[in-house]
Amino acid sequence: MKATRKSFGEALAQLGEKYSNVVCFDADLSKSTMSALFAKKYPTRFFEMGIQEANMIGTAAGISFTGKIPFICSFAAFLTGRFDQIRMSIGYAQANVKLIGTHCGVAIGEDGHSQMGLEDIALMRSIPGMVVLQPADDKETHECIEWAIKHIGPVYIRLTRQEVKPFNLDSFKPGIFQKVVDGEKVAFLSTGGMLEEVATAATILKSKGVMSPAVYNMSTVKPLDSKFMGELAKKFDEFVVFEDHTTMGGSGSAIAEWISESAQTPRRVKRYGVRDQFGESGTPQELLEKHGLVAQRIVDNLSNK
């Protein structure tokens, strides 16, 4: 079990030796984002910007045009809170910057809404050319970081504070969802901190004879692979998306948009997440239960539909 924020720090420190043009910026949170691991190993390639995310974004965009590959790190809520700077300095310029947003969702717990990344996917996927990823576990985080280094253009990667179970899935491929659990008719889509709960719920639902859902790891939110999505739409009658994020504009919205506009046959899409409300302080378990994002709540909701 390991938080994907820690996996990121370890991956960047490891890959920094292979890719000497990688640099890292942080906004006074390096011990929390785990970029401190890179800073310790490569102190001359690490830049502590203080609590100045807007300046960090602009500086990283500028240095990217010198051939460096900057990773900029902060809590997802703070980083995407500087949306205007990201939109213009990185998005509009198509700067080769990699954005790392940690502490996503209500699962951060007692720190409360001000530090919960609950709208970050909706914001980042609205920027033209921005790739949006959320790895499932330690292995996939390492793969996503190296893929981002090789990819030319902006990438946003969403990471957990809570530890997540290792799934040891097939190698990461952008836009392709790896199958976690076999099933039929209904496909559950999720990733990151939610994937274990969703896989557990699917097992319980099968044992109760309610349904036999497949589970897929949706580690790419944008772009979706049209060929792969077309195959899923032919195979399943219904998609249920679970995410520790607002249901407005998140991963579920991305699936619903694709299905409604591109699928040859209409399919139902159901979204579970935080519904049109602010986060609050509480234990991670209390908050996930409140929003129906734990296995038993998922089972209860789908058993009674």
Can you spell out the DSSP letters for 116-142?
Answer: -BSSHHHHHTTSTT-EEE---SHHHHH
Please give the pLDDT value at position 168. Answer: 86
Give the list of residues 6+ apart from residue 85 with CB closer than 8 angstroms, or none: 53, 54, 57, 58
Does residue 206 sit within a domain? yes
Q: Evaluate the CA torsion angle 188, 122, 128, 66 in order and state its sign.
A: negative
Is there a single domain that holds both residue 106 and residue 209?
Answer: no
Give counts: helices (H), strands (E), the chain: 13, 14
**pLDDT tens for each residue of the chain, 305 residues long:** 999 999 999 999 999 999 999 999 999 999 999 999 999 999 999 999 999 999 999 999 999 999 999 999 999 999 999 999 999 999 999 999 999 999 999 999 999 999 999 999 999 999 999 999 999 999 999 999 999 999 999 999 999 999 999 998 999 999 999 999 999 999 999 999 999 999 999 999 999 999 999 999 999 999 999 999 999 999 999 999 999 999 999 999 999 999 999 878 889 999 999 999 999 999 999 999 999 999 999 999 998 76
Instruction: Based on the residue annotation, tell me whether 53 is a catalytic residue of this protein.
Output: yes
Which residue segment(s) compose the domain that 255 sits in?
A: 178-303
Is there a single domain that holds both residue 11 and residue 131?
Answer: yes
Is there a single domain that holds both residue 195 and residue 128?
Answer: no
**104 secondary structure, DSSP code:** B
Nearest alpha-carbon partner for 86 in 65, 60, 111: 60
Tell me the HSE value of 305 on the side-chain side, using a 13 A CA sphere. Answer: 11
Are 251 and 257 within 8 A, CB to CB? no
Is there a single domain that holds both residue 147 and residue 248?
Answer: no
Peptide bond connecting 174 to the previous residue in cis, omega within 30 degrees of 0 = no
Which residues face 117 on adjacent strands? 104
Residue type, position 219, single letter: S
Does residue 101 sit within a domain? yes
Does residue 160 sit within a domain? yes
Does residue 171 sit within a domain? no
Q: Against a cut of 0.85, is the pTM above it?
A: yes
- State how beta strands 46-48 and 69-75 pair: unpaired
Please give the pLDDT value at position 268. Answer: 95
CA gap 75, 69 in Å, rounded:
20
138, 155, 227 from 45: Cα distances, Å? 24, 20, 40
CA gap 235, 231 in Å, rounded:
6
Which one of the listed residues 10, 17, 53, 119 is annotated catalytic? 53
Is there a single domain that holds both residue 131 and residue 54?
Answer: yes
Is there a single domain that holds both residue 131 and residue 53?
Answer: yes
Does residue 172 sit within a domain? no
CA gap 268, 52 in Å, rounded:
43
Does residue 216 sit within a domain? yes
Query: Looking at residue 209, which CATH number applies to its domain?
Result: 3.40.50.920
Is there a single domain that holds both residue 229 and residue 121?
Answer: no
Please give the pLDDT value at position 305. Answer: 61
Is there a single domain that holds both residue 125 and residue 251?
Answer: no
Is there a single domain that holds both residue 116 and residue 41?
Answer: yes
Please give the pLDDT value at position 142. Answer: 98
Query: Looking at residue 39, which CATH number applies to its domain?
Result: 3.40.50.970
Kind and range of the H or E element at 73? strand 69-75
Sequence-separated contacts (24+) of 51-59 with Cβ below 8 Å? 51/27, 52/27, 53/27, 53/78, 53/79, 53/81, 53/82, 53/85, 54/82, 54/85, 56/25, 56/26, 56/27, 57/82, 57/85, 57/86, 57/89, 57/90, 57/97, 58/85, 58/89, 59/25
Of 164, 194, 209, the position where a domain reaches its end is 164
Does residue 170 sit within a domain? no
Does residue 169 sit within a domain? no
| Domain tally, the chain | 2
Is there a single domain that holds both residue 41 and residue 124?
Answer: yes
Is there a single domain that holds both residue 131 and residue 203?
Answer: no
Are 245 and 251 within 8 A, CB to CB? yes
Structure tokens at 68: 């460096």
